[in-house]
Amino acid sequence: MATRDLTRKYVDYRTTAKIIGRNSLSPLSGYTMDSGLLEDASQDSNTGWAAARMQLPPAWVDLVDRVDTLTAQIEAKMKELEALHRKRLLVGFDDSEAARERDIDFMTQEITGMLREAESALKQMGGGGADGGGGTEKLVTRNVQKSMAKRIQALSIEFRASQKHYMAQLKAQKSGAAPLFDFLAAGHDTLETERRAREENGMEGGFTPEQLAVLEEQEVTTAERDREIQHIARSIEELSQIFRELAVLVIDQGTVLDRIDFNMEQVVEHTKEGVHQLVRAEESQKSAKATRCIVCLLCSIFVMVLILIIKHR
């Protein structure tokens, strides 16, 4: 485990605090040893807290760590939930389906709660995470918030797709069991006809214990699947609400990107205009008018010099 020796820094802080404390005391204000020690201790405490706060990271860093932890937990829980979905969709002949449904229900609620907690942390990060900081810190906080919101939104989309797929498979299983119910109903009518015929002939009739067990089991299974489908539909509705709330941040991020693109286009246009002005300045500098003026001035000077020479002779 890596450690740091902060003894020298602590001694410096303590010495500075003692000097400040002594300078703030008045020699004629009833100074005593006890009061001096108490005030020195107060100065040490205040200076120590100030130094500690200066060394601590911003408050939103803790929220980022919390969202990262929740994201990892949600990904792990989603894998476990997919495994439970696969086991639940298998045809079973024991009483483990009810336990699996309870596990699926509990894990679905747990994942939904984690998504809501992550959303709440993101809102806290945007609302008070950058208070008291400069413009750069606020900009960094908003960028981090939007990046984390995009990750949470992707997880929410994946979780909602998984729930929809599971509900579709449950409905397919239920519709696939319909021919069996038709067969059992037809068998029930046949047995009822036979029972009446036997009663007319003085014979007893009815369902066999095996047929009654199959009917009861199918009815219980159908009722459980209906309840499970309704619960999954409610969880999908909750996820859609979370998805809509997270979409606000992602849309805001897209707006910022569009604004950045617009600013870049404006910079390019201004740069092209500046290059054009430089070219015009260079052309005007090399124009023939300036050259002609210079030549005329030189000729005039030469003529004036000749006139002066001739005149003095």
Q: Where are the domains of the chain?
A: 7-52, 58-249
pLDDT at 264: 80
Work out the pLDDT band at 180, boundaries 50, 70, 90.
very low
The pLDDT value recorded for residue 256 is 54
Q: Is the pLDDT of residue 105 over 70?
A: yes
What is the predicted pLDDT for the residue at 301? 92
Cβ distance 236 to 164 under 8 Å?
yes
Q: Has residue 1 got a pLDDT over 50? A: no
Contact 18, 44 (CB under 8 A): yes
Give the alpha-carbon dihedral of 270, 274, 277, 278, to 10 degrees. -170
Q: What is the pLDDT of residue 95?
A: 61
Share of the chain above pLDDT 90, in %: 3
The amino acid at 249: L
For 50-59, 140-149, 195-204, 264-273, which range has the lowest pLDDT when averaged over its residues?
A: 195-204
pLDDT band, residue 302 (cuts 50/70/90): very high
Q: Find tokens 């002949």 and name the residue.
A: 93
> Any idea which fold 58-249 has?
Methane Monooxygenase Hydroxylase; Chain G, domain 1 (1.20.58)
- Give tens-digit pLDDT for 221-279: 666 766 777 777 777 777 767 766 666 666 555 555 556 666 787 788 888 888 888 88
Segment 170-194 mean pLDDT:
56
Residues of the chain with pLDDT > 70, as a percent, come to 50
Q: What is the pLDDT of residues 85-97, one digit of tens each?
A: 888 777 555 566 6
Neighbours of 157 (CB within 10 A): 13
